A and B are shown apart, each in its own frame.
Chain A
């Protein structure tokens, strides 16, 4: 075995854990890949092996897609389980959630670096705990007031509202069983599923995650109660009750009216029908009939008509796009600074790192 890479710098176990989880490997699987024992991997991750052999660290890098230097130095902003909320199916395995958290932590590193060179909006998320339906309605309305949004008007680009409030929206989830994910912390983020190419669904997902950020700061989520609360918040935030009731009742309940409301409020027909039911504008029988109809038409499986134009989140994309143009730092240099391998950077941000001849294949060991 060779010596340690940096005799004076500590190997940071959490970085190994993040890289491993991002790759979707268990400790045992990683141990097999690098020909080490699972207990050694465990010791490294717990920080009980601060100076692992250099060849082992290099092997970690090769298997996990990072430069060896990535594993050194403190991890300042790890996305911890208690800070994160998932909008997912009940069957979603813990391993997948860990992978998404790791992805988010790595994205957080990119965002932190971008924040040090670009002016990002300050984080401005109100904290309004709410439990009952009445409290949730009031929380959603208070949130609108906090951001100076009229209670009478639809929101055309919900993502922008959150981005102006300092929440970075990342459309990079790829798994179909997780719709969205959010984290409240020094870097507040909402992850959206890029496979869902429906603006109205994204709007609701953003509203749902916004509900977690506003109502559940420091509260463990994932229970039926917190998910229902976030759904109710999303409905109330996107479709404020007074304006919704007024417009819903201007005409008989037929589908043309619902789709006209969808075009105006930029939410799905399903969300509108559910809102009408929650506000008792529709009875349970009508609500069930309506869902049966939507299911029959294939709307509940993603084929709703009159979808609003697709709205990509902009803050992160624009900041990455400005690298090398508005600032000297380029994508390649950012990738190098963070010690991500180009393919890993691409996997994290979906942005390809241009090939550069100046980029060494191996980071020199001397420092």
Chain B
């Protein structure tokens, strides 16, 4: 009897599954439960029956259908309730069922300044143009050259940026045609870690120690610099698992409703085109809102760095920095806080000592001239303010004053992933014996190999 009951239960489950199957007969990702959707659609149709009947023109009908879509999207029961692991499994299964496919470069269709990674290392690279460092890092490998010598005599420097994920072999995908999110999910946590090495820099004494009140603060020294950076909070890459619920869950439901509702038997054949137009309008709004949510999300990174004079023993500078990025409307706000300690030179009649500084910087960055120079890319314009606050102990033999800098940088896009940053920095320096106030102009070039690497691996 028990066995028979069990068998009947199994048959009932199979029959129920078959009954529900047509809605998802071929679907590769989880779909809306058809019973729920049809009930919601019927309710919405009932709610809007009078306005729809009263609508006499196509425009009026489209407005009503648009309200119907918006009402459907407010129905929480239509959205999937998957965990992060559930989304990951669904994406992996979808990729494994792909028919054909090419994997090409992925950037984000959000504003360029929002996803712009730091391919240089302004906080640790003494020759870098710009005062501010963004929280993001290169996807794989990037090179940046600072051609300061064009405007000043401080030489040039080259910075190699490396993401930790570049240390691994590309994900094996001989037997599958993987989707963008599936590939990004491989070693996703390693993508948080990046590092850079700057070589070829010649820096003046004052840039290392902050001491300009000495006879020759502009004497140049050969230096190398390094940093290790970890993105602690956030990810503005739309492929990241952080956004599964938004893109696969919410937006996937919106695209499903946009495709199913205009073709549903409940919509009169004569209204099919109008309903599709209304769905397209709603989908466009939802797509823009999703892009803005990614672009304006919070990013926080921490990094540690070192600068070393290669021809002077025992002359090092170490720093720890926190970087915060947050978007507002169409502008990105970036703030950096850096604590550093540097070995000062031996000055007559004193023992070696360390100078200690807090550097606090803030910047606003926006995208301008989209599609003007390179199709699909924009230039970035940023304005930054930075203050260097001396934290010396009482026994330091030199009295240093705080230094302030203003910077404007315009980064022009070049080809697919290159940039040419042009920057101008104004600085006061009350410590300088010559009491000079100066402006430095710099030009650089950077190339992020992420896209090429992705295409080749």
The finding on whether chains A and B are genuine partners in a shared complex, rather than unrelated, reads no
A interface list, Cβ under 8 A from B: none
B interface list, Cβ under 8 A from A: none
